[in-house]
Amino acid sequence: MQDRPRNPWARASGTVETAPADEPVKPADPSAPAQDTLQGAFVGRGRPLFWLALRTGGLTVLTLGFYRFWMKTRLRRWYWSSIRIGGVPLEYVGDPLEKLLGFLFAVVILAFYIGVVNLLLMFASFALLQGNVAAYLLSFVGVIPLWFYAQYRARRYVLARTRWRGLRFGLEPGAWGYAARALGHWLLTLLSLGLLWPRMTFKLEQYRTDRTFFGDRRLHQGGGWTMLFPALKWIALALLLGLVATGALGSGAGGLSFLLFLLAGILMLYGLAYYRVETLVRLTATKTLDGVGLRLAASPRKVLRIHLVGYLLSGLGIALPASVLGALFVFVQSAETLADMGLDSLPWAGLDRWVLVLLGVALYFSIFLIWSALTHALITMPLTRHYAQGLQLTGSGGLAAIRQRPRDEHIEAEGFAEALDVGASL
C-alpha cells in the first residue's frame, strides 16, 4: 500500500471523463452503447504468447510432464481473455488441479484397458496369427469410439469452464450418443466415397450445438445439411483435375500430367481449407440463441496462408538448434569411432561424455519447446484472431434476459482426451 502512484484518483477520473463513451474501435471499453450487433475482436499479441508458451513448456519438461495441466490452463486463459465480443473478454476458469484429477481418473480406467486388453490382444494375435499387426490394428480400432467419446467430454468440460459476461456456457451430457453417431457418419462418409461428408459435418455439429447452452438458454443449429454441399466445390475441382492428369499420364503426356497433378495438389490443399472455413461460416450463420444470431466472416485464403507461412517460419525457427544438435550428434559419433580405433588421446576426447549427452538432451527438448511456442504464436494465435475478428452477434438485445446456469462439476474434466492423446501412440 506504500507504493501508491502519486495521484491515481486524478488519473482514474481523467480516464473516465476523456474516454468517449461510444468509441467503437476501442475494445477496452466494454460499455459501448448496446447497438444491436456486437463485434468480435482479438487483443492478444504474438510475443507475450510465445514467451508464455515457452516458459510453461519448459516447466512441463522440468516437471516430467506434470506441469502440462497448468500449461494448458494458462494458455487457455490467455487465448480466452484475448477474445472480446462487444468489448467483453471471454474467460476460462478451468483449474489445473481438476485437470490433473480428471487425468488420474482416466488413468484408473484406461490403465486397465491398455494393460489387460493389449496384453490379451498381443497374446491372441501372436497365438493365432503369428504377428502383432492384428493386435495393433484391433487395439487401435477399439480406441476409436473412446476417442470420439473423449472429444465430446473434453468439449463439455471446456464449455463448462468458459464464461462470458459472467455467465457459464454448458454442454449437455451425451458423449456415448456422440461417439455412436460419429462412428455411423464416418462409416456412411467412407461408403459414399466422401459424398456424405457434408452430412456428417452438419449432423455432428447439430448434435453438439443443440446441446450447447449459454447461461440458461439453449443454442439452436438451423439450416440443413445440403447447404454445406457448395463447400465441396474446390475439392471436387481438384479431384476432377487429378482425373484429367491421370488421363494425360495414360495418354503419354508425362510433362503435362505432372503439371496437372501439381496443380491438383495445390487446389486440394486450398479445397480442404475452403471446406473447413466455408462450413464453419455457414454453420455459424444458422446458429441462434433465443433471438440472438451469429455471423462469421472468414477467408479460406487467409486461413491457408496462416498455416503455410506459420509452418515455414516455425521450421526456420527450429533450424538453428536442430543443426547444432545434428552437429553435436556427428561429433559424439566420430569421437566414439576414434575411441574405438584407439585414438582417444585427441585433445577433445577427454571432454566428459555426460556433458555432451546432457547438452544433446537439452537441445532436443528445446527444439520441441521452441516449435510448440512458435506454432502457438504463428499459427494458433493468428487463426484464433482471424475467427474472433470475423465474429458478430446480432440482435444482442436478447442477451439481457439470459440467466446463470448451475456449475457442471464434471469430475473427470478432459482426462480421457488428455490420456488418449497419448493412447494414440500405442
- Alpha-carbon distance of 157 to 153, in angstroms, equals 6
**Cα separations in angstroms, 410 against 80, 126, 235, 338, 383:** 20, 40, 40, 59, 29
Q: Alpha helix (H) ranges present in 286-396?
A: 300-340, 353-375, 381-389
CB 200 within 8 A of CB 225: no
Nearest residue (CB) to another protein, 231 versus 374:
374
Tell the smallest beta-carbon distance from residue 42 to another protein (Å).
8
Tell the smallest beta-carbon distance from residue 371 to another protein (Å).
10
Residue 344 binds to another protein (criterion: CB under 8 A): no
Tell the smallest beta-carbon distance from residue 367 to another protein (Å).
9
Q: Is 5 helix (H, G, I), strand (E, B) or coil?
A: coil
Positions in 82-111 near another protein (CB under 8 A): 82-84, 88-89, 91, 93, 95, 97-98, 100-101, 104-105, 107-108, 110-111
Tell the smallest beta-carbon distance from residue 107 to another protein (Å).
5
Nearest residue (CB) to another protein, 278 versus 412:
412
Map grid coordinates 481523467 to a residue.
14
Cα within 13 Å of Cα(48), Cβ side = 8
Total number of residues that touch another protein (CB under 8 A): 101
Query: Which three cell numbers mark 60?
Result: 512441463
Residue 354 binds to another protein (criterion: CB under 8 A): no
Site string for another protein, 261-300 (x = CB under 8 A): ----------------------------------------
For residues 408, 213, 102, 416, the Cα torsion angle rounded to the nearest 10 degrees is 150
> What's the angle, vertex CA 115, arms to CA 110 and CA 119, rounded to 5?
140
Residue 198 binds to another protein (criterion: CB under 8 A): no
Nearest residue (CB) to another protein, 136 versus 261:
136
Residue 349 binds to another protein (criterion: CB under 8 A): no
Nearest residue (CB) to another protein, 12 versus 308:
12
CB 197 within 8 A of CB 276: no
Beta bridge partners of 289: 292
The amino acid occupying position 373 is A
Residue 25 binds to another protein (criterion: CB under 8 A): no
Positions in 162-191 near another protein (CB under 8 A): 163-168
Nearest residue (CB) to another protein, 241 versus 377:
377
Residue 15 binds to another protein (criterion: CB under 8 A): yes
Residue from 61, 188, 269, 324 binding another protein (CB under 8 A): 61
CB 102 within 8 A of CB 411: yes
- Alpha-carbon distance of 88 to 38, in angstroms, equals 10
Positions in 221-240 near another protein (CB under 8 A): none
- Alpha-carbon distance of 60 to 100, in angstroms, equals 13
- Alpha-carbon distance of 302 to 313, in angstroms, equals 16
Tell the smallest beta-carbon distance from residue 410 to another protein (Å).
12
Residue 120 binds to another protein (criterion: CB under 8 A): yes
The amino acid occupying position 65 is G
Question: How far from chain centre, in Å, is Cα 366?
Answer: 21
Residue 1 binds to another protein (criterion: CB under 8 A): yes
Residue from 38, 39, 50, 52 binding another protein (CB under 8 A): 52
Candidate segments 79-87, 180-188, 241-249, 258-266, binder of another protein by CB under 8 A: 79-87
Residue 74 binds to another protein (criterion: CB under 8 A): yes
**Cα separations in angstroms, 211 against 49, 312, 361, 395:** 32, 39, 46, 21
Nearest residue (CB) to another protein, 116 versus 195:
116
Residue 141 binds to another protein (criterion: CB under 8 A): no
Q: Is 340 helix (H, G, I), strand (E, B) or coil?
A: helix
Residue 130 binds to another protein (criterion: CB under 8 A): yes
Candidate segments 36-44, 178-186, 201-209, 229-237, binder of another protein by CB under 8 A: 36-44
